[in-house]
Chain A
Amino acid sequence: APCKARIYTNHWAVRINGGPEFADRIADKYGYKNMGQIGDLKDHYHFFHSRTIKRSTLSSRGGHSFISMEPKVEWIQQQVVKRRTKR
């Protein structure tokens, strides 16, 4: 049977008010790499952290987690692998 546990990745979606340059600074501060805006979603950025577990059944905790305390970080979500099937 396929694994039903949530599988967390080392990618985050972050909503930061302040533009791309500010997002870059925030990403650097906490060890992330800003991969750019998520599609057409304004103020939403793709952050990647190379020093966290690539795939884990536990959500990632560490110094990088304090990014959520930043005042301009409105929302953050560690990405979870979803099972998607071609029909």
Chain B
Amino acid sequence: DYKVAPPPLSSPAQTSPAQSIFFNDAKWSSMWYIHCNDDIHNCQSDMNIVGAWKRGYTGKDVVITILDDGIERNHPDLIQNYDNQASYDVNGNDMDPMPRYDASNENKHGTRCAGEVAASANNSHCTVGIAYNARIGGVRMLDGDVTDMVEAKSLSLQPQHIDIYSASWGPDDDGKTVDGPASLARQAFENGIRMGRKGRGSIFVWASGNGGRSRDHCSCDGYTNSIYTISISSTAESGRKPWYLEECSSTLTTTYSSGENYDRKIITTDLRQRCTDSHTGTSASAPMAAGIIALALEANPLLSWRDVQHIIVKTSRAGHLNAPDWKTNAAGYNVSHLYGFGLMDAEAMVKEAEQWKQVPAQHICVESADRQIRTIRPEHVVRSVYKATGCIDNSNHHVIYLEHVVVRITITHPRRGDLSINLTSPSGTKSQLLGNRLFDHSMEGFKNWEFMTTHCWGEKAAGDWILEIHDSPSQLRSQKIPGKLKEWSLVLYGTSVHPYSSLRSDKPRSAEPPADEEFTEEYNGLCNSECNENGCEGPGPHQCINCLHYFLKFKNNTRTCVSECPSGFFRDDRKRCKKCSSLCETCVGSRSDQCSTCRPGFHLNEGSNICVASCVDGFYLDHDSNMCRRCNENCKKCTTSNICTECKPGMSLQGNKCQMTCDPGTYYNGHRRTCELCHRACATCAGTGMEACNKCAESYFLEEWRCVSTCSVGYYMAEQTSDNGDVNKSCRKCDHSCYSCTGPGETNCSTCVNGYNLEAGVCVVSTICKDESWAEGSFCVLVKKNNLCQRKVLQQLCCRTCSLKG
């Protein structure tokens, strides 16, 4: 790092992007929310203010005024940029907005806010404002009775000279107040956006509610709830929600501010020409946002009040801001109730502003009111659906692409704080219009109160809008009288042409106020078959207003309608095609364990549903289904479902199966899953009974497939000497001619069957042959050869041949 001289007032910054900026202001190095991008400060998300400065934008020629309790115009850090024409004292009815001094310094608020915006840079004093070359004024209007007229005077001060009005105040954030601008202040807003800044519209920046601890909800503040104000939320350095923060659907964006006691706070000018590092709350965020908007206005002075809001929506980022309800709306914007569209990005805003084309004229569609009275019973939900057309019948009011959505509601109820209200857009985006407020015991209900949501920005207006009202009775509610939804209606703000569409005709920039023209270009040809009944802007599937089946979104934020999601994508419950994990060919979700089929070369793992290059142990590849399926139990490796090749420890492979290894003398009983004793005749066995012996016990001998203690009749004891010298005894079958025997062959018979006589160990036929039979000859030779002489009939038929020895 090295010191760089600050840019002179009349020329942009001289520094190159690689050089870091250094100012000699006393607290410069402590401004943690500015120094996010250096290596020293561990900052997770940057508002990129230095980035905007390096592009040459410092707020030059932009005028901001702080509506508050005054401004110390002679503060050393404010005097250079102070603008008398942007200042007034409404409380004292004179031109000098100097604050009233007292022992408590209670009127320091305006001076603190002003320093954040436009404290001079590199003057050795205190801090550096976000727009350190902007003109800064102040209106003293809070140090006295604040009436509708006081507010209106302040909000309509010098609208052709002042670009931005910053307000860090509002109705009580006590969690039970419902209040907003009265008729004069509302008129000042409307006049301001219509005629201020030579027709481009005044910019009103408002600090969101500070009543987090009182469980307040900023939808009950009519100032932040207005479409004309940019409602600013706060986040702590850590990205955590500050204790004071309220949440609601009207918040647009966020800047850094204070958090817990141990979190760093905002550094700015203080009363009595001092400097403070203790500026806190959403009060610190609104001026910061005003300063950032000033940089964008320097980049493009022709931006309208709606252009500024569009740029904020487009460039704000979720970053590391911690919220439980971040969601992506149907237009692709991330939004939450705590932070709106996220953290402001000054550099991104000035870049957008440089090449910005003005958005089309605003259309306002007031849909018909639903006046059906519905009872709101305790612990029940009232649900009402309204089919909006977006005023399709009226080309001057037709809204296709949404900006703000306002819901006017009239409800009677015995305890207002027990109510919560949600609105769901046709695209499925749910906005919480009102949350429960524990301390709001009012019986006044809501009388045509306007709730506003920014969460549907960019979505389509036409379709079913769902209003839900929950009654959650608190313990403090004595009467369980039901409330009533008397009436509700939608007011849709937006355009009939896509705000960023290239179909719009380009108009050259002019210093004159733009005429109130409409850039309406309608396509009347045939729509693609994938478009639904809402029509299209052209013939292609990417020009449908809504898709018939599903839509596929691309990285450049365009989308196209498809009949089915392509390979590698799955369809979610909002008819979007979303990408599968990289190895999946088809899937049911985006995680790697949600594959249904796999890309070529990969196999789906049974059970875990992940795609693998090869099957792991315990699984075999089923070629038919291209899946890794589980081997049988106990099997470590297998080739099919029932052919195991390797067993798990403690198991032994027996054939194709794995069974528990048992001690000698026992066998594995598969039914009881235990080792059991073999038959006493078996030394080892494969099951019960002497028939299951693998090896005979001592004093038992193998006869055929069983072990016996003595050889059966028809068997003789045979001895066989093995190669290692062991003598193995077993029972072998006698010759067929013997009934019993003592050895092998026909000469060791010991007894003969009936009809045979034992002669010298040989059994011969004992029958006296009569006359020679007709069968004698070759037939009887065959009978004798096949040992059929034992059969009585054949013995008689072949008497002579059977009697012969041999």
Contact = CB atoms under 8 A, between A and B. Distances in A.
Contact of B173 (A9, A13, A85): A85
A40 B157 contact: yes
B179 A41 contact: no
A41 B142 contact: no
Given A82-B146, A82-B148, A87 B207 contact: yes
A84 interface: yes
A86 B66 CA distance: 12
A84 B169 contact: yes
Interface stretch (A16-24, A56-64, A73-81): A73-81
A38 B184 contact: yes
Interface string B770-788: 0000000000000000000
B interface: dominant SS: mixed
A53 interface: no
B156 A38 contact: yes
B407 to A, nearest CB: 24
A87 B170 contact: yes
Contacts, number: 97
Contacts of B192: 40
B473 interface: no
Interface string A1-28: 0100000010101000000000000000
Interface string A35-57: 10011110010100000000100
B588 interface: no
Contacts of B153: 38-39, 46
B69 to A, nearest CB: 7
Contacts of A39: 152-157, 188
A38 B170 contact: no
Contact of A87 (B156, B159, B169, B182): B169
A34 to B, nearest CB: 13
Query: Which of A11, A77, A85, A87 has the most chain B CB atoms inside 10 A of its CB?
Result: A87
A23 B636 CA distance: 100
How many chain A residues sit at the interface, stated as a range, is: 20 to 34
A41 B172 contact: no
B229 interface: no
Query: Which of B147, B169, B182 has the most chain A CB atoms inside 10 A of its CB?
Result: B147
Contacts of A85: 169-173, 210
A49 to B, nearest CB: 14
B209 interface: yes
Contacts of A84: 142, 146, 169-171
A79 B147 CA distance: 6
A11 to B, nearest CB: 6
Given A39-B156, A40-B157, A87-B282, A81 B147 contact: yes
A81 B173 contact: no
Interface string B45-85: 00000000000000000000000110000000000000000
A87 B188 contact: no
Query: Which of A9, A38, A84 has the most chain B CB atoms inside 10 A of its CB?
Result: A84
B148 A79 contact: yes
B149 A46 contact: yes
Contacts of A9: 145, 147
A79 B177 CA distance: 19
A80 B206 CA distance: 22
A60 to B, nearest CB: 14
B652 to A, nearest CB: 78
A41 B145 contact: no
B409 to A, nearest CB: 23
Contact of A40 (B109, B147, B171, B191): B191
B505 interface: no
A35 B93 contact: yes
Nearest to A55: B145
B550 to A, nearest CB: 45
Contacts of B158: 40
B138 interface: no
Contacts of A11: 147, 149
B187 interface: yes
Contact of B69 (A55, A79, A83, A86): A86
A9 B146 CA distance: 10
B208 to A, nearest CB: 8
Nearest to B442: A4
B188 A41 contact: yes
A85 B153 CA distance: 18
Interface in B130-163: 142, 145-159
B668 to A, nearest CB: 79
A79 B146 CA distance: 9
A39 B184 CA distance: 10
Contacts of A83: 146, 171-172, 177, 179
A82 B177 CA distance: 12
A18 B697 CA distance: 130
Given A40-B157, A84-B169, A13 B146 contact: no
B171 A87 contact: no
Contact of A81 (B145, B156, B157, B283): B145
Contacts of B177: 83
B184 A87 contact: no
Contacts of B149: 11, 13, 38, 46, 79
Contacts of A87: 168-170, 173, 207-210, 281-283
A41 B156 CA distance: 7
7 contacts: A9-B147, A13-B184, A41-B156, A46-B149, A80-B148, A85-B169, A87-B207
Interface of A: 2, 9, 11, 13, 35, 38-41, 44, 46, 55, 77, 79-87
Given A41-B188, A77-B148, A87-B283, 10 more contacts: A2-B172, A9-B147, A38-B153, A39-B152, A40-B157, A82-B171, A83-B179, A84-B171, A87-B169, A87-B209
Interface of B: 68-69, 93, 109, 142, 145-159, 168-173, 177, 179, 182-184, 187-188, 191-192, 195, 207-210, 281-283
